[in-house]
Structure 1
Amino acid sequence: MTEPLQGLLQSVPGLLSAVGCFDRIGQFLAAEEQEDFRDFKSCHSSSTSSLTTAQTPIDGSETIELTSRSPRNVSMLPTTWQPIIRITNGCFGWSKDKDILKDVNVSIPGGRLTCIVGPIAGGKSTFCQTLLGETYASKGRVQFSVPSKEIAFCHQTAHLVNGSIRENNVGFSELDEKWYETILRACSLWEDVGLMPRQHETIVGSGGMNLSGGQRQKVAVARAIYARKSIVVLDDVFSGFDAGSEQHVFRQLFGPDGLARRQGMTIIFATHAVKFLPYADHIIALVDGVVEQEGTYEELRSQAGYVQGLVIAVSSKHQSATAKEPVTQAEKTQDAADAAKDDLSRQLGDFAAYRYYFSAAGLSSTLLMLAFGTATSTFFNLPTFWLKQWTDASSTSGQHDDYKYLGIYALFQCLALIFAMLLAYQTIIVLVTKTGLDLHLRLLQTVALSFTQSTWALRSNFCDQMSYGFV
């Protein structure tokens, strides 16, 4: 009898959550449908003859020619400097009344590496999303020479499903063991996967929680290249890589002899790693949503503008930085064991840390949270005791007041629910907010005091040196 009655009252929050979910689904279905402003036709009349994946008939409709292609060679793009994407007088943004990109006129060559560079909030991510048709277009044209299904995209935040390493790398493509191994080695994942308990069948978890940040991003990049699409759009995908992995992946995939180059893919790479610009065939500099410069690296570095102002550390032969020394499997195993030991020691915790945290919350807030927690636990357990009294009274005496017992039982359940809500409010809204502000204030005071002391020390040292010099 206890479980059904408790479940009835405890199901109220879940019911309210379900209603909220239905409201959000209804708002999404009732929202205005976004139109795809992209034009999947030939950018120019002469490019149709050189493309084997798309043809533009006389009536202007798009058809796809089903041609057989080798599983290891998908060079479907022209090797000349013919544009595969052309944007003319384009103005794009995330809302209809505000444009982020203004008066964009660019042509992206097929089968080449195009780097999108610019300062933070300059419009690089918006440019990548525009190529996917995810923004609003107030005016202008975006023309493609390939079908829409020939575009692969990798975001700077990796999207992984709760599946195995193999499933996340292959995606919706067909499994090709040789090509799969080639991609994983190029993305510096083959050795990492070999050290995992189930290797390629290791479950990455929800959002890739079982992988490190760099490994999650490597899997996402590997999936984009594994799909072997004509166009690959990469939005700052090296942000989570270490220096060695960054050099290795770029050299193996996008370098002069990289897989993407050999496969004839068109790579559109938005990046802050300006050290890779000398390897780019085409560069687009976006500043405040405006295309400030466009051209090759040799052209732009000799012109006054954004690219010339970048400090790029590149050797005379344009070689990549020295790779890290190889790490043996024994060293990796020892490092994993040490990391597991550190995780175990962190799980034990330290009472001093909890004392410091609750001191920031204050005595009154902490005592109130404890009081609400005690009341919640009490009223969640009292119904069981009261139900026992009810059944005992029913068995010993035939005359008993069912309504009285039922009313008190419902009262206990309601009080438990009320105190649970008060506990959640006190913990999440009051306690967390108060401790967050206090701890950040302490950190700010510490940093400010340290900066002040350092400034006075430098000033005293400078004055002493000046006095000694004058003497």
Structure 2
Amino acid sequence: QECTGGVMIASSIIMGRGLAPVEAAIGGWRAFLMARESYGRLLKGFGNDAADAPTMPLPKPEGKLVFDGVSGGPPDLRKFTVSNLSFTLEAGQVLGITGPSAAGKSTLARLAVGVWRPGSGVVRLDGASISDWSREDVGPHIGYLPQDIELFPGTVAENIARFGEVDAEKVVDAARLAGAHQVILELPQGYDTPIGPAGVNLSGGQRQRIGLARAFYGRPPLIVLDEPTSNLDAEGEAAVRQAMEALRGQATVIVIAHRPAVLGGTDQLMVVLKGQIVNFGPTSEVMPQITRRVVARPEGLPQEAGGAAHV
């Protein structure tokens, strides 16, 4: 009987203020647990990236490429666009890949050069998983021409040399191999001509030839060309075929094209349909089958391509 009503109300207010942080923590407990779980997933994801981990440098690859049960697709999609790809390409061989649109050809190219990591299976370059190579170490040994060619602000020579140390002899050799030397000499400042963002001051054919030269720079042991003749005329297509012939035995080359004529000079030919290999073998054996299908169906491959993959 010693506490008045006012003291009791004041005590209740003080206790409420004192317990407010505890109540707030309880109310936000679920969000805290979710944040901690998300943070753990980020740490696990970054932990799988060996960019910061020192790795022993591997010797220069010869170019043998192996797909062992590879499935994969864009990193932001859970659905694989290619599944269970298995084949071996010996060093120095030239492989042609064809198939209808959205068959998975460009996905295969990105997996081959290590731009995308496979969801399952492994891509091996000279026996080592290409994902295990340091990007800085493996980059000079791979030439890649994507469908969407990206050139960067700088000179033509710097773009061909991949913005590393410009070796004039290698730059000219790559340009000659791509049939771009004369085209570059006709530019206002030749190899020193500045290129605007995304190559806006160049035509589509000029960009493609410079992109080809960049892929050939230093004659890397593995070269992947995705639709290399899409913006080229007949002379440009002939230059690509000559380059394939010049690189035979020196580099492993993968050429992706819709038109079988571009793939006539390859050693092996692969037909991809709906993310799977439906035919794979020597070009002399596979090409007649494709030709017969094109004659039978003007749009290209049949809906159900026959022939088992020799893998």
The alignment's TM-score, normalised by the length of structure 1, stands at 0.46
2:293 aligned with 1:309? yes
Unaligned runs of 5+ in 1: 1-29, 38-60, 67-75, 79-83, 312-471
Instruction: Give 1:287 deviation, angstroms.
Output: 0.5
Comparing 174-183 and 203-212, the one that deviates more:
174-183
Name the structure 1 match of 2:258.
Answer: 272
Instruction: Give 1:196 deviation, angstroms.
Output: 2.3
Instruction: Give 1:33 deviation, angstroms.
Output: 4.9
Unaligned runs of 5+ in 2: 1-41, 296-311
Name the structure 2 match of 1:196.
Answer: 187
Name the structure 2 match of 1:292.
Answer: 278
- Which residue identity is paired with 1:276? V
Aligned with 2:101: secondary structure? coil
Change (3 A) 1:310 1:33: farther
CA distances 1:39-78 after superposition (whole Å, capped 9, x unpaired) = xxxxxxxxxxxxxxxxxxxxxx864248xxxxxxxxx638
Aligned 8 A contact 1:90 1:105 in 2: yes
Alignment of 1:122-271 (within 5 A): 122-135=103-116, 137-145=118-126, 148=133, 149=138, 150-251=141-242, 253-255=243-245, 258=246, 260-261=247-248, 264-271=250-257
Q: How many Å separate the matches in 1 of 2:178 and 2:119? A: 39
Q: How many Å separate the matches in 2 of 1:190 and 1:301? A: 32
Aligned with 2:114: secondary structure? coil
Instruction: Give 1:96 deviation, angstroms.
Output: 5.8
Q: Which has the higher strand share?
A: 2
Q: How many Å separate the matches in 2 of 1:62 and 1:211? A: 41
Instruction: Give 1:270 deviation, angstroms.
Output: 1.2
Instruction: Give 1:122 deviation, angstroms.
Output: 0.6
Aligned 8 A contact 1:157 1:217 in 2: no
Instruction: Give 1:107 deviation, angstroms.
Output: 1.1
Q: How many Å separate the matches in 2 of 1:123 and 1:35? A: 26
Instruction: Give 1:34 deviation, angstroms.
Output: 9.8
The alignment's TM-score, normalised by the length of structure 2, stands at 0.68
Change (3 A) 1:136 1:194: closer
Q: Which runs of 4+ in 1 moved over 4 A?
A: 30-37
2:51 aligned with 1:64? no
Name the structure 2 match of 1:102.
Answer: 83
Aligned with 1:128: secondary structure? helix
Comparing 292-301 and 186-195, the one that deviates more:
186-195
Sequence identity, in percent? Answer: 25
Q: How many Å separate the matches in 1 of 2:102 and 2:111? A: 15
Change (3 A) 1:250 1:92: same
CA distances 1:209-261 after superposition (whole Å, capped 9, x unpaired) = 1111110111111011013221111111211111221112321x112xx1x23
Instruction: Give 1:290 deviation, angstroms.
Output: 0.8
Instruction: Give 1:143 deviation, angstroms.
Output: 1.8
- Which residue identity is paired with 1:220? G
Instruction: Give 1:161 deviation, angstroms.
Output: 1.2
2:78 aligned with 1:92? no
- Which residue identity is paired with 1:242? D
Q: How many Å separate the matches in 2 of 1:62 and 1:103? A: 30
Instruction: Give 1:307 deviation, angstroms.
Output: 6.3
- Which residue identity is paired with 1:309? R
- Which residue identity is paired with 1:123? G
Q: How many Å separate the matches in 1 of 2:46 and 2:273? A: 30
Root mean square deviation, CA, Å: 2.8
Q: How many Å separate the matches in 1 of 2:71 and 2:49? A: 14
Equivalent in 268, 273, 285 of residue 282 of structure 1:
268
Instruction: Give 1:206 deviation, angstroms.
Output: 1.1
Aligned residue pair count: 238
Q: How many Å separate the matches in 1 of 2:47 and 2:116? A: 9
Q: How many Å separate the matches in 1 of 2:266 and 2:212? A: 18
Aligned 8 A contact 2:170 2:218 in 1: no
Name the structure 2 match of 1:112.
Answer: 93
